[in-house]
Structure 1
């Protein structure tokens, strides 16, 4: 039983070790490292002492360097010994390079229920159907009441309260002069727009 327990602990530590990243990110690296070849070699020698197969990726715009080791154990050892150490008169900070994956590591297409929002639109999701517009409601009581009204009469649909106004339907009066306003060809002439009369100029009274 003791051997099985020790074996299980080794397997657990191995899994935890494999989950750790095998790369470090050096932040706020001095600009001289990117410009001077000799200083760049000295910077690389610090990490090659832990792993001769270490590779480097220099990002001058961000003043950062990615250091890639062959295994996570070497990366952890280098981080423990070189983090916050002095290099070229400045403190060097090292952090583990994290790879963030949400779900799958591959880029997947959007969900089917959102694909119809893409331009140009893709095929609609399964089971999607065009919604039909509702039929307009016809108030037959209102039509019946209005049909019984004569020209100039009115019909109250909704009685007013202290908070809401009343709704009243007015029936238009017949135009007695419709025959006179009919233009040639049987078409009714367009009504003339009468301009608003300018008010009389009242002279001001000087006191």
Structure 2
């Protein structure tokens, strides 16, 4: 703060950096008619155009707010100083500085983890024959066991092509896994 003397009186001047201030205001609790009537909207915008002819408006009807963006922070500060808590169409107009949010600076999407392939499980399942089972997880007092069963084939045909060309003895045919039938639909609560 700098001080100067003029004829015995002290006058204080403040050195403010207006580049640190936001260049937008938010008008809160504006009259509902502002969103419907063109003439009311024009008179509202005229209040702010006197501070900056290039001012821009964004209307948020559901929040009953208007964002007023000025070309510089000095015009926004002056408009707030003169118009905050003034009457507009029978309502007290409240103006607040809009905070700027910077999203995405330095942000990078994380890399997806490499999927875990359990080769022991794949090997055990590939060796299962019809009617065999493989226990994935042993039961505990609080959890059930998880067991893979290979179903018997009712028709006797194979679901996979026979890849026994290189072996002298044929491999047992693999049964086809039949999809579990969806339970019958029973209507719940009627609306």
TM-score in terms of structure 1 length: 0.45
User: Looking at CA atoms only, which structure, 1 or 2, has the larger radius of gyration?
Assistant: 1
Task: Determine which structure has the larger helix proportion and give its number.
Answer: 1
TM-score in terms of structure 2 length: 0.49
Task: Determine which structure has the larger strand proportion and give its number.
Answer: 2
